[in-house]
Amino acid sequence: MDRLKWALLIALACASGVFGAAIYGSGRASAQAAAAKVLRAQEFELVDSQGKVRADLSVLPDGRLALVLLDKDGHPPAGGAALSVLANGSPGLSLLDKDGKVRAALGVLPDGSLGLSLLDKQAKLRATLGIMANGSPGLSLLDKDEKTRAALGVAPDGIPTLGLSDDSEKTRAALSVLPQGDPGLNLFDKDAKVLWKAP
């Protein structure tokens, strides 16, 4: 979270410096220009010496605030990034591949939960790592059809659980460590009936 805040502050500081230079010019500003204290717009584009857009700061139609970084050709590079703030105030950071597809997304929701999503080359969700508002961490692994097949988590009471699911996302096996320290294993049929358990 600290890195995300620093990245936003650095980006805003850089943007402020560029916009300040544009307003005041390379030399001393006139008294009239110096009186301007606010720069207002719906979108800002940062361009390089060739006039190509390298960064875009804008408010999107859905109310999100977004900062997009582009390569020298004006495209999201491998390792490109988009920083946004949703209309509800939730910050997010997306990492894009060379085709502009989101491959990783990090976000904080209003309830304080935190999530990291990892996507494959087809932009399908394949893994999520998160911390719920109650502090419980969890990891989910998804198949090529974006169905959860394995989930690892720690409940608020400290019980760790590993669940394995079928292609209908029904839990078929669950392994846990019970409060007294004993391991527990449950195997389920397709209708969620227990086939076998221990203890």
Domain boundaries, the chain: 124-199
Q: Is the pTM of this model over 0.95?
A: no
pLDDT one digit per residue (tens) for the chain, 199 residues: 333 333 333 333 333 333 333 333 334 344 445 556 788 888 989 999 988 888 889 888 888 888 888 877 777 666 678 898 887 889 999 998 878 789 999 999 999 999 999 999 999 999 999 999 999 999 999 999 999 999 999 999 999 999 999 999 999 999 999 888 999 999 999 999 999 999 8
Query: Pseudo-torsion of CA 171, 175, 177, 183, nearest 10°?
Result: 140
- Angle ∠(82,84,90) on CA atoms, nearest 5: 140
Q: Which ranges of the chain would DSSP assign to H, the alpha helix? A: 2-24, 31-34
Query: Pseudo-torsion of CA 66, 69, 70, 76, nearest 10°?
Result: -70
CATH fold of 124-199 reads: Outer Surface Protein A; domain 3 (3.90.930)
Tokens at 167, concatenated: 């292609």
Partnered with residue 96 across adjacent β-strands are: 80, 102
